[in-house]
Amino acid sequence: MTEARVTLVLGGARSGKSRHAQALAEATGGALVFVATAQALDEEMRARVAQHRADRDPRWRTVEAPLSLAETIVAEGRPGSVLLVDCLTLWASNLLLGEEDAAMALEALDAALRETAARVVLVANEVGLGIVPDNALARRFRDLAGMINQRVAARADRVVFVAAGLPLVLK
């Protein structure tokens, strides 16, 4: 990630996208900030969050931003720092379930990515490869996640798709 200021890492569940994104961020040599969008609302999710934290060494500082992603990027986006946002898909779920104005949040995210002085690596699930969901909420989620991915990919200097742990540079 020597030249890319904004990188989007996409992939399916358990594809290796988070591991790849972390390696990209760590390769920069900057101050490392993990921007967590997950909300540990049950025991299984708490265990996942704990495992993700254990996978990061002490160089990382964690900031939780389940909804205020743009504001966090603005606040933490200093020159010489690298922000790892994991993940946009959980952020989309948080926006949807919290009945937030997703269009306004996405505008703010786009502006934050455009203006930040930091390098930013964002992780997202590619949700458009499966079947059409059978209920309205799931379809709204899939549509929102796809819209976020497209908007961030357009803003990004680099886009990487990870499948089976193997990265494929798309942009």
Q: Are 119 and 4 in contact (CB under 8 A)?
A: yes
| Catalytic residue check, 52 | yes
* DSSP secondary structure letters along 47-63: HHHHHHHHTS-TTEEEE
What is the rounded end-to-end Cα distance, in angstroms, of the chain? 13
Cα–Cα distance measured from residue 123 to residue 20, given in angstroms and rounded to the nearest whole number: 9
Which residues are 130's β-sheet partners?
Answer: none
Catalytic residue among 19, 52, 56, 140: 52
Q: Are 84 and 33 in contact (CB under 8 A)?
A: yes
**What amino acid positions are annotated as catalytic residues?**
52
